Structure 1
Amino acid sequence: MNSDDTETDLEDILQIDIVSDVVCPWCIVGFKQLEMAIEQTGVSAAIKWHPFELNPDMSEDGENLREHIMRKYGSTAEQSQAVRDRLTELAAGLGFDFRFSDDMRMVNTFKAHQLIHWAGPEGKEHPLELALFEAYFRDGKDLNEPEVLADIAAGVGLDRDEALKVLEDGRFADVVRQEEAFWTGNGIQGVPAVIFERRHLISGAQGADNYSSIIRQLVGEDAASISRH
């Protein structure tokens, strides 16, 4: 294979599916690492987000985030703070700003996932997903509040009134539940879960270098496959 063939292969679009929740700090960290890896390798990637709820049974009122983490994972206040500090430092190096506060709340995200699903055909799924991460972790917004969600949707160019209607009538509730069930039924119990080319599952935030290595291996596999034909 000559260099021209290699360059052509690198220009092929790599399909990347990400199963994620917008209140999962490791999901945005993992994405920013993946984004860096995509830049490092020079591939073209098509990213598709898929719904996962960390806390599908969370009440409408939510729960204090620190208390929720301590209860769910059995951690101490000191351990919880250490994780926050680590996340904040790690994300800062990736260009994302975590602003954890003592009154921050863990909330139900089912409404947010319905809105993301609606945004897909509008060409706004990706910017809305990122805007929701920022609204929650940077601005401390309640992602279970329809008016807040509608504002975020409008901020990425979606129709605010239609966003409210989507949330009010729940037109995408069933399909989002079905998609969540698909992923959990296929063994995904934690996020982020990154699926390359619909066949290679990588769990957790793996770091930009590891993602780069995975991408290069996949591109190499495709190039080798082409050269054999």
Structure 2
Amino acid sequence: MDPLTLAAFLFIVALGAYVQTVTGFALGLIVMGGITLFDLAPVAFTAIVVGFTALANNFLALHRAIHHIDRRGMTFTLLGMLPAVGLGVLLLDALHSTSVETLRVILGAVILAGGVLLALRPHPHAHRAPGWVDAGVGVAGGILAGMFSIGGPPLVFHFYRQPLPLAVVRATLLATFAVATVARLFYVGVAGDITLEMVQLSLLCLPVVFLATVAGRRYPPPLPDLAMRRFAFTLLGAIGVMLLV
């Protein structure tokens, strides 16, 4: 990767980390969408780098919140999610070798839909969803995680509709994403799809994510939460539409 492409790649990673810090979501969506939109790296390559980066970010955020995890919800979700991650990896491999344009269109649609879902502020249900619903949502998130390392939108929308404390929702999501990411990296690692360049670039991304996260905490934009969510939705919507076009 030449220096200019590397700088652009790291800038998009920093933007995704900053937006995630001030809004609570969008790291994977922005990085996958931005890198693919500007054709800085192949989708499969970027998905692995996003996986390593997000995993480190999840562990940093989770180390003080493990006791908040809803183990029941996480277990049922992973029952559906882990096999689906493998299916998503197989779909990515098939499309990457046969139709890259179709893959970009699917990614654009996923990012656009993800932006819409994450922009919504759903009201919690009165009762906790049954385990089979958690598992079904896990299947949807697992396929997206396997294909693009962005399995968050369906899970975030689902868990924020459950009558659970906010700290429990966040910890459960972080833990679920971490396990799913480890599973994805295992699948692609066994297939021999992880290269030294991917690992090196992932290591370069870690301090960028750390600095962008610190900047987001210390210097958030002077905007209310609703305005920031609208900004994130507009950004994701623009990326998704441009990929579709």
- Fold match by TM threshold 0.5: no
More strand by share: 1
**TM-score normalised to structure 2 length:** 0.28
Rg (Cα) greater in structure: 1
